[in-house]
Amino acid sequence: MKVSGKNIVITGGASGIGKALAERFHAEGAAHITVADLAEEPLKEVAKSVNGLAVVTNVAKEEDIQNLAAKAEEAGGPIDIFVSNAGIIRKGWEDIPNDFWQLSWDVHVMSHVYAARAVVDKMVERGSGYLVNTASAAGLLSQVDASAYAVTKHAAVGYAETLAVRYGDKGVRVSVLCPQMVHTGMTKGKTDSVASVDGIITAEELAGCVVETMDKEEFLILPHPQVREYMQRKTADYDRWISGMQRLRDKYLGDE
Ligand SMILES: NC(=O)c1ccc[n+]([C@@H]2O[C@H](COP(=O)([O-])OP(=O)(O)OC[C@H]3O[C@@H](n4cnc5c(N)ncnc54)[C@H](O)[C@@H]3O)[C@@H](O)[C@H]2O)c1
Tell me what pLDDT residue 164 has: 98
Q: Which long-range contacts link 62-66 to residues 24+ away (Cβ below 8 Å)?
A: 62/110, 62/114, 62/117, 65/111, 65/114, 65/115, 65/117, 65/118, 66/114, 66/118
CA dihedral in degrees (183, 194, 206, 149; nearest 10)?
A: -90
Tell me what pLDDT residue 197 has: 77
Cβ atoms of residues 203 and 33 within 8 Å: no
Closest Cα partner for 186 from 83, 109, 102, 107? 107
- Name the pTM for this structure: 0.97
- The atom number, within ligand 1, closest to the CA of 39 reads 37
Comparing 143 with 190, which gets the higher pLDDT?
143
Catalytic positions are 149
Averaged pLDDT, 162-188: 96
Residue 255: pLDDT band (50, 70, 90) is low
Whether ligand 1 lies within 6 angstroms of the CB of 21 is answered as no
Comparing 255 with 190, which gets the higher pLDDT?
190
Closest CA to ligand 1's atom 43 = 87
Quick one: how many helices (H) and strands (E) in the chain? 10, 9
- Domain boundary assignment for the chain: 7-225
| pLDDT above 70 for 191 | no
Which CATH number describes the domain made up of 7-225? 3.40.50.720
Interatomic CA distance for residues 210 and 238, integer angstroms? 29
Tell me what pLDDT residue 194 has: 72
Closest CA to ligand 1's atom 34 = 37
145-163: pLDDT as tens digits: 999 999 999 999 999 999 9
Q: Which residues lie closer than 8 Å to 224 by C-beta, 6 or more apart?
A: 137, 179, 180, 198, 199, 201
Closest Cα partner for 78 from 68, 89, 70, 86? 70
Cβ atoms of residues 30 and 8 within 8 Å: yes
Compute, in angstroms, the gap from residue 94 CA to the centroid of ligand 1. 22
Averaged pLDDT, 47-68: 98
Beta strands in the chain (DSSP E): 7-11, 32-37, 53-56, 81-84, 129-134, 172-177, 182-183, 201-202, 220-221
Decide: residue 214, CB within 10 A, 0-12 exposed, 13-18 middle, 19+ buried.
buried
Whether ligand 1 lies within 6 angstroms of the CB of 141 is answered as no
Whether ligand 1 lies within 6 angstroms of the CB of 20 is answered as no
Give me the chain's average pLDDT, please. 96
36-57: pLDDT as tens digits: 999 999 999 999 999 999 999 9
